[in-house]
Each structure stands twice: as structure tokens, then as C-alpha cells.
Amino acid sequence: MVIDDGRRFLLRSDEKFDVILMDPLRTTTAYSNNLHSRQFFALAGKHLTPGGVLMVGGVGDSPVIPRTLLEEFRYVRAYPSFSLASQAPLHRNRMRLEHLLNSLPAEVRMVMRALEQEAQEGKALTEATESYPANEDWRPVSEYYLGLQLRQWLEPKGGGCKGPRVLMN
């Protein structure tokens, strides 16, 4: 286990990992884009073994992070509070999942099952995030919370626009 600034560590290392777990700053915190950009996800991907998985926590309900992951990874599964990404298919082992869930208290098991039901991947995730830009090192989107909220308010949903059309870069 390595606890360090993720970007700095990966830039200085040639190590490969089966799993990279990230729970960085909230996406709306200043400088969080250093760990939420397409360039960082590409860097993390170079440090994964074949079939390795990147888990990005703390993403909340922002579609920008899954959208950005889709720029660099072939397979992405987005849950309400984290996303998984890999170059290999993300298989679910239903028997193992049931075994783990059954070891939890009933109320926790219920919450975990609900989270699993909310997961999006494949075409559904691509369609849900296609109108959002990817985070870039020099063009952060999610880091600026108020700008992101305004953009989401202005985005046309179902063909109609809630407010004036504004180009935001």
C-alpha cells in the first residue's frame, strides 16, 4: 500500500498495480483536478497490470468523472459515490457478491443492493455522460462547482433548455 500524492508517485515510479484506489479531495475542491483529469487517468492506466482496476472515490453525482474515465478506459462502471475503470471487462461474480452481502447486517445489505442497482456502464453510461466535457489538466470542469452547477442548469434535458444558452469554457 502506498499513501502519497498519487500523481507525483506515479510520475516517479515504473511499478504496476492490480488495483489503484483513489479517494482524493472532493471534485469541487481547488486543485482536485490534478487527480481527476484525463491526463491523470491515462497515467494511472499505464500503471495497471492487464486486467487491473482503477477505483475513483468521492465522485458524488457528477457525470464529469465517469465521462473523463470513458476517455481513457474501455470499461467504466459508475456508482453513486465511486467509479471503476479498466481496459478489461469488469465482471461481476454474483456468488461472491451474495456471499459478501449476506455477511453484512440487513440494513447495510439493503443499502448495498440499492447501490448496485444504481450502477451504470456501457452504452447507458456513455449516453448519460455524452453531453458533459471531460476534465483536462488545463481545462478543469468539475473543480469549479458553481460553474458546473450553472452548466448543469443550462444543459438541455429532453430537448428543452431551462435557461439562456451560454458557452462555458
Laid out side by side, the sheet with 48-57 consists of 17-22, 48-57, 82-86, 75-78, 120-121
pLDDT band with cut points at 50, 70 and 90 for residue 153: low
Specify burial of residue 56 (Cβ count, 10 A radius: 0-12, 13-18, 19+).
buried
Mean pLDDT, residues 43-49 taken together: 95
| Three-state DSSP class for residue 99 | helix
Looking at the chain, how many residues does it have? 169
Question: 2 is written with which cell numbers?
Answer: 502506498
Phi-psi label, residue 159: left if phi above 0, alpha if psi -120 to 50, beta otherwise:
left
pLDDT at 113 over 80: yes
pLDDT at 31: 59
Q: How far is CA 95 from CA 5, 92, 125, 129, in A?
A: 36, 9, 25, 31
Distance CA 61, CA 84 (A): 14
Specify burial of residue 154 (Cβ count, 10 A radius: 0-12, 13-18, 19+).
middle
What value does the mean pLDDT of the chain take?
A: 81
Q: Which CATH class is domain 6-154?
A: alpha beta
Active-site positions? 23
Q: How far is CA 12 from CA 21, 37, 77, 157, in A?
A: 18, 18, 28, 43
57 vs 54 pLDDT, higher one: 54
pLDDT at 167: 40
